Structure 1
Amino acid sequence: MTGHIQPGGALESQGLRHAHDPTVVRSDDGTYWMFSTDALANSADVPAGVHVRRSQDLVTWEYAGTALDGVPGPAAQWTGAAGLWAPDVVRWTDGSWRMYYSASTFGSRTSAIGLAVAAHPGGPWTDRGLVLKTTQGESGHNAIDAAVSFDRSGDPWLAYGSFFDGIYTLKLDPRTGLAAEDGPGTLLARRPPSVDGAVEGAFILYRPQEDRYVLFLSYDSLFGTYNIRTAVAAEITGPYRDWNGHLLTEAEPEPGAAGTKILGSYGFPGGTRWLAPGHNSVFIDTGLTDTPFSAAGQEEDEYFMVHHVRFAEDPSRHTAHLRRLYFTAGGWPVASPQPFAGRETERLPEPSGVDGSWLVAQMDPLSTEPVSARRMTLASPELPASDGTPSTARVLVNGTEIDAVVFAGQDWAGGRISLCFSGIDAGGTAWFGTREGEL
């Protein structure tokens, strides 16, 4: 099957609304492309297939239609799927683009991961068949939620899996992009039957700065209790351990205790309450100059967490968020409390004091309840003032010491640019917040 981007009128004015399981890439001409689950494919005027959006600034997104003309034949025949789920798009070593898509039906292990290729993210995309397939009643693992990563040697690996038997990784053939070994591969993470094995949406990031791999996972239910967890390993095949040393392939001490929770449901006073953030990917904008993150004329990589989230007042409505992803002095990933609003919102006109009153949310790993940010006092003996340039620093929040990053971002509730922080305390709990008051 070959497909150009196909138009779809019902989503043309929706921006990032309805985007589910998103991933973002940048083409050589500087255009950003988002690929996502066709969450409205059952609607009469929304075609089945991977939904595609494009942007010039990562803020304003235009719906561009669907890649692939429906569900490719081999995937449709194997699974009976009406649409495609959770696409992952990567630049291959030969310069081409590879899309790994999932086909299944809700709650079934009769699933498949397929591969399509293109010379450009805008297509046309050509289907190359199935990479992996599983069968209800025969397979313990589930062939959905594909995410491709490259190890420190540049070799490709497929992370996949979900509820049932957990998350696996499988080596891919560097030439074809198909499986280089028989499945299921190596187990990376699993959750206990007491929570229905609720883990999915894996993504692996190699960090040369620490020479280790970061595994991102979504725990619990996509309908209301999703939250994003992390763990790290010396090798792409694991074993992965969280901040507190819990091994993700072993039974949790108690549900919710394993995996370092860096983003859950939350809200700031006067702002939108966001519910069930999950199924994230990581987009690295590489080789940029003259940004808030780089010295003049020098290149710098920028990290974004890309995920979907629901509106707490109406969980049937959902959208996609991009938010900055930072790394603390200890090398742990932390997420911005504010969705990305453009690079022009990330530098204060003049340095401002860090000490003072902040609105802060604490991500309790044992709770799935939405967190309401509350007023706390922050102090930083290492960073008395900041203009918003991202800086690692030890901060004290109501006396609790946190390994943090301080930076500037758009305070959506306050309608202003503000200092923000995000970090991890000594017990492995994530905190983030936004400075109160006018700056």
Structure 2
Amino acid sequence: MAKKGRQGYRLLLLSFLMLFTTVFSAGSQAYAATWNLTGDTNVHDPSYIKEGNTHWVFSTGSGLQVMFSNDGTNYIRSLPIYNSKPSWWSSYVPNQEGLDVWAPEIFYYNGTYYLYYSISTFGSRVSAIGLVTTKSISGGKWTDQGVVISSNDASNYNAIDPNITADANGNLWMTFGSWSNGIYITSINKTTMKPTGNSYRIATKSGGIEGSSMVYNPNTGYYYLFVSIGQCCSGVNSTYKIAVGRSTSVLGPFYAKDGTDMKNGGATVIDSGNSFWAGPGGQDIYGTNVIVRHAYSVAENGAPKLLISDLEWDSAGWPYYN
């Protein structure tokens, strides 16, 4: 190749690389980047919040597990919320194993952090949702607020997997529930931060549905109900998937993309896992632009790990991430 030809080729290659870099950089933002996490990332059912510059993750585990990060990517495990059982736990869930606590939900309102959580046993509707509060997460001083809602084997719902959301008018709601009886919603009193009034079923799905997380997106005018469908907790054999439906009302009906009501099993899957991560679920939505969840690492023989991604919205108003 002549010298002039080699120079032209190099310029062409350089231009291509510059164009590729520009497109890739833009794409990494437009196509929902997954955060590069390090440190202790072993979790089930994570719930995420920021307090100042500190990132906090609460998750299923003994005493209610806590992790924090100063940069949002490198996580350190802190002390659990509980080191002994509150007296009321045994009254509602007599067969609970030790300090096993499930699926927490952290919510900030009026200068207080409200941490909701579940106690239960597998395969039973003998369950309860509890509440503990603090003015400062980093301060580490939590106050137990007792039971929020409970259920038993005769109940229509299973009182687990709480999630708190604010509607377009600032009213507060809690979604909760699981499996055959589906997902329910109830209004929350802003003074007690506990339910008031009736509970309404808004989603069901044969084969498993739980871990609801609702968010209102003012840019689209819809309420989005994210759920975990399938079965968790079996490592790489877990069949969990993250799915979503949407509604113009906080009380529904919520519809999947194909128009099926979520009360009739509708659900649009947005993450079914891949060759690296099995059984994604237990999701939590922070604001409208971050999704936090767990998935089972194939490379680590099914260890449950924390995953965080930027949540994006397509032109039709549906959420997605990579």
Deviations 1:188-218 (A, max 9, x none): 10123xx3xx000000000011111011000
Q: Paired residue for 2:312? A: 326
Alignment map for 1:306-385 (pairs within 5 Å): 306-313=292-299, 315-336=301-322
Q: Paired residue for 1:209? A: 219
Q: Distance in 2 between matches of 1:17 and 1:105?
A: 25
Q: Paired residue for 2:270? A: 262
Contact 1:142 1:164 in 2 (8 A): no
Q: Paired residue for 1:165? A: 181
Give the counterpart of 1:72 among 86, 89, 92.
86
Residue type of the alignment partner of 1:318: P
Q: Distance in 2 between matches of 1:154 and 1:119?
A: 21
Deviations 1:315-346 (A, max 9, x none): 5411110011100111110012xxxxxxxxxx
Contact 2:41 2:75 in 1 (8 A): no
Report sequence identity in percent.
28
User: Once structures 1 and 2 are overlaid, which stretch shifts more, 95-104 or 65-74?
Assistant: 65-74
Instruction: List gaps (5 residues or longer) in structure 1.
Output: 1-13, 39-47, 253-257, 268-272, 285-301, 337-439
Q: CA RMSD in A?
A: 1.5
Alignment map for 1:228-247 (pairs within 5 Å): 228-247=242-261
Compute the displacement of 1:140 (Å).
2.6
Q: After the TM superposition, which segments of 4 or more aligned residues of structure 1 sit over 6 Å from their partners?
A: none
Deviations 1:172-197 (A, max 9, x none): 10111011124xx11110123xx3xx
Residue type of the alignment partner of 1:265: G
Residue type of the alignment partner of 1:87: P
Instruction: List gaps (5 residues or longer) in structure 2.
Output: 1-37
Per the alignment, in what secondary structure is the counterpart of residue 181 of structure 1? Answer: strand
Residue type of the alignment partner of 1:129: G
Asked whether 1:143 is paired with 2:162, we answer: no
Q: Paired residue for 1:289? A: none
Per the alignment, in what secondary structure is the counterpart of residue 289 of structure 2? Answer: strand
Residue type of the alignment partner of 1:213: Y
Give the counterpart of 2:205 among 191, 199, 210.
191
Asked whether 1:30 is paired with 2:53, we answer: yes
Structure with larger RCO (C-alpha < 8 A, sep 6+): 2
Relative to the length of structure 2, the TM-score reads: 0.83
Give the counterpart of 2:67 among 36, 44, 53.
53
Alignment map for 1:109-148 (pairs within 5 Å): 109-122=125-138, 123-136=140-153, 138-148=154-164
Q: Distance in 1 between matches of 2:42 and 2:228?
A: 18
Q: Distance in 2 between matches of 1:75 and 1:154?
A: 31
Compare the two structures and name the one with the higher helix fraction.
Answer: 2
Q: Distance in 2 between matches of 1:303 and 1:16?
A: 23
Relative to the length of structure 1, the TM-score reads: 0.61
Contact 1:306 1:323 in 2 (8 A): yes
Compute the displacement of 1:15 (Å).
3.1
Deviations 1:36-92 (A, max 9, x none): 001xxxxxxxxx311111112211001112113343221233113221111101001
Q: Paired residue for 1:407? A: none
Q: Distance in 2 between matches of 1:26 and 1:157?
A: 21
Asked whether 1:200 is paired with 2:210, we answer: yes
Q: Paired residue for 2:278? A: 275
Q: Paired residue for 1:219? A: 229
User: Once structures 1 and 2 are overlaid, which stretch shifts more, 74-83 or 123-132?
Assistant: 74-83
Residue type of the alignment partner of 2:103: A
Aligned in 2, Cα 1:110/1:210: closer, same or farther, shift over 3 Å?
A: same
Q: Distance in 1 between matches of 2:230 and 2:319?
A: 20
Compute the displacement of 1:313 (Å).
4.9
Q: Distance in 1 between matches of 2:303 and 2:210?
A: 21
